[in-house]
């Protein structure tokens, strides 16, 4: 039997078990059929890294989360199934704590829980706000969490493990990628996909070249994109800072002791945010990318230990007989 913590974000899915952790794009690509499909056997539905490599093919591109809402339940389940598979577990022998966007309604939570049990075939699943995981991963019971993801920034005020306030802002990494994309179009005449801009920012690609009719081949480098990002970050960070101040006004004394900045986007926005709100000290987890998933796994450890022990004892008794 296995327990896992799964954080299905807008851009990436992160999953953690006792001994492993995995991360891959939250992306599903459904290839269009062609007249010559019978000549080559290919998967129709692709998930994660493989889906990302097939983006240029004629296909439907589906992201299960948009602007802090789950918009494709089936695709969301496919991504969660892929996470369990990559961890090396069978869904029917797995219990999971799954993190969802903060603005997920009670009705959506119940529907998603049902989907996980019926389609993913999990033994059991419980739903928590993804950002709540970071707090627990840092060994804290109270705090203010600012979780900057791909599509949204989620805010959580927690007091003694009770969620007091949640807020979502549609300003995050994608906002910066879109602003950067527009700048590149205006300044260089090159239209890059967000995935290409992300690869230049993260320096997984040093440069990209595109052909422009009547002009020829033009190249955009990591350094060029880095300069644009530096210029465009502050105006967007101001919106995050404004929402943060509003939440802090109503936070309890316990919550104000730990103001946490997490999520993959925290790496990009941290300096600008700290400059904009110098009156508070932002704490960053050791691994802001995996912090949510690690905390969700910690909840799983707390939720299921008694059940796991009882099952193991029953198996031992059967083996002894």
Cα torsion through 25, 30, 34, 36, rounded to 10: 60
Domains of the chain: 1-26+63-138+286-321 (3.30.420.40), 140-284 (3.30.420.40)
**Higher model confidence: residue 307 or residue 45?**
45
Check pLDDT > 90 for residue 309.
Answer: no
pLDDT of 310 higher than 80: no
Q: pLDDT (tens digit, 9 = 90+) per residue, 134-191?
A: 999 999 999 999 999 988 899 999 999 999 999 999 899 989 989 999 999 998 888 8
Of 112, 126, 117, 120, the closest CA to residue 3 belongs to 126
On the question of pLDDT at 79 being above 90, the answer is no
The pTM for the full model equals 0.83
Task: Give the C-alpha separation, 256 to 250, whole Å.
Answer: 10
Going from the C-alpha of 122 to that of each of 34, 168, 311, the distances in angstroms are 35, 29, 16
260-279 tens-digit pLDDT: 999 999 988 999 999 999 99
pLDDT band per the 50, 70, 90 thresholds, residue 80 = confident
Residue 316 has pLDDT above 60, yes or no: no
Each residue's pLDDT tens digit, 188-225:
888 887 778 877 887 778 888 888 888 889 898 999 98
């Amino acid at each position: 039997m296995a327990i896992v913590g799964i954080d299905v974000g807008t851009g990436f899915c992160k999953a953690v078990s006792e001994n492993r952790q995995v991360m891959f794009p939250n992306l599903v690509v459904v290839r269009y059929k062609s007249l010559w499909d019978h000549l080559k056997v290919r998967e129709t539905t692709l998930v994660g890294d493989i889906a990302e490599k097939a983006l240029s093919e004629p296909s439907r591109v589906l992201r299960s989360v948009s602007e802090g809402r789950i918009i494709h339940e089936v695709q969301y389940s496919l991504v969660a199934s892929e996470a369990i598979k990559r961890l090396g577990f069978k869904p029917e022998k797995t219990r999971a704590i799954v993190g969802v966007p903060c603005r997920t309604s009670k009705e959506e939570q119940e529907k998603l829980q049902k989907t996980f049990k019926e389609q993913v075939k999990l033994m059991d699943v419980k739903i928590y706000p993804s950002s709540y995981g970071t707090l627990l991963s840092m060994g804290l019971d109270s705090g203010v969490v600012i979780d900057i993801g791909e599509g949204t920034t989620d805010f959580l005020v927690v007091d003694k493990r009770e969620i007091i306030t949640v807020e979502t802002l549609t300003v995050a990494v994608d906002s910066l990628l879109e602003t950067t994309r527009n700048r590149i179009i205006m300044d260089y005449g090159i239209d890059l996909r967000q995935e290409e801009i992300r690869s230049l920012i993260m320096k997984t690609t040093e440069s990209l070249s595109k052909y422009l009719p009547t002009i020829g081949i033009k190249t955009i480098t990591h350094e060029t994109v880095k300069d644009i990002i530096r210029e465009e970050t502050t105006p967007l960070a101001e919106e995050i800072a404004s929402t943060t101040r509003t939440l802090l006004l109503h936070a309890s004394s316990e919550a104000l002791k730990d103001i946490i900045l997490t999520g993959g986007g925290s790496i990009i926005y941290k300096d600008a945010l700290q400059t904009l709100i110098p009156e508070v000290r932002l704490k960053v987890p050791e691994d802001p990318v995996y912090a949510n998933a690690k905390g969700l796994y910690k909840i799983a450890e707390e939720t299921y230990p008694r059940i796991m022990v009882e099952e193991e004892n029953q198996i031992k008794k059967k083996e002894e007989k």
